[in-house]
Homo-oligomer: A and B are copies of this chain.
Amino acid sequence: MNEIKETPIVILNFKTYLESTGENALKLAKSSEMVAEETGVNIMVAPQYTDIYRIAREVDIPVLAQHIDTIDAGGHTGSILPECVKEAGAVGTLINHSERRVELFEIDAAIKKADSLGLSTVVCTNNIETSSAAATLNPDFVAIEPPELIGSGIPVSKAEPEIVEKTVESIHNINPKVRVLCGAGISTGDDLKAAIDLGSEGVLLASGIILADDPKKALLDLVSKI
């Protein structure tokens, strides 16, 4: 994943909010692109599958899928073919988000499949132990998100700073090439700065921006302290 070098990294997970669906998704992606251009921060967006194509064509920031299935092309009605999200314009994918967890062997298979297609991989994990496990599988990124803080408004970088620090340390002991993000409860500039200060290279976030009254303003605030 040569194209994702700059830090900090902000991955905006669109999840399945109406505020980030269809036209709203496109608008949010354009706001993200503007903030990325204005500030130089590396902002990526992870819209719903159905919105990847139009967003990838209309904005010039990296677009990720929210999940891929580890299938080969064929008879798999309703599944997410990695080749299809790539052709639509995605340059990477989340894997094992806490809202879309997959089996251990699938994480391994998804990383290998993504690598073979040139897609970046962001494996989401829930604690230090599973972050270390994910690191052995050699993804581009591990994003740790304590599930109890997701959507809570309580930032992991403040509520559980030691988890972020220890995750960074443990992952780098196992595999120094893996880059660490953190998430859960992140929404402000202070939250992002704290995440960076703890050794992570950025954040994965969603509702704190998507559900803000003015998402562009919220994004500008998010990146204002770095």
Contact = CB atoms under 8 A, between A and B. Distances in A.
23 contacts: A13-B77, A16-B71, A16-B75, A16-B77, A18-B73, A21-B73, A22-B83, A22-B88, A48-B84, A50-B50, A50-B85, A50-B87, A75-B206, A77-B98, A77-B99, A77-B100, A78-B80, A96-B103, A101-B103, A102-B104, A104-B107, A105-B130, A132-B136
Given A15-B74, A77-B97, A174-B174, 7 more contacts: A15-B76, A18-B73, A18-B83, A22-B87, A77-B99, A103-B103, A136-B174
A78 B84 contact: no
Interface size class of A (residues with CB under 8 A): 35 or more
A188 to B, nearest CB: 19
A130 B136 CA distance: 8
Interface in A94-146: 94, 96-105, 107-108, 125-127, 129-130, 132-138
B103 A16 contact: no
B104 A125 contact: yes
Q: A21, A50, A80, A81 — which one has the most chain B CB atoms within 10 A of its CB?
A: A50
Contacts of A151: 75
Contact of A74 (B16, B94, B107, B174): B16
Contacts of A168: none
A215 to B, nearest CB: 16
B97 A78 contact: yes
Number of chain copies forming the complex: 4
B96 A51 contact: no
A150 interface: yes
A96 B104 contact: yes
A177 interface: no
Nearest to A72: B16
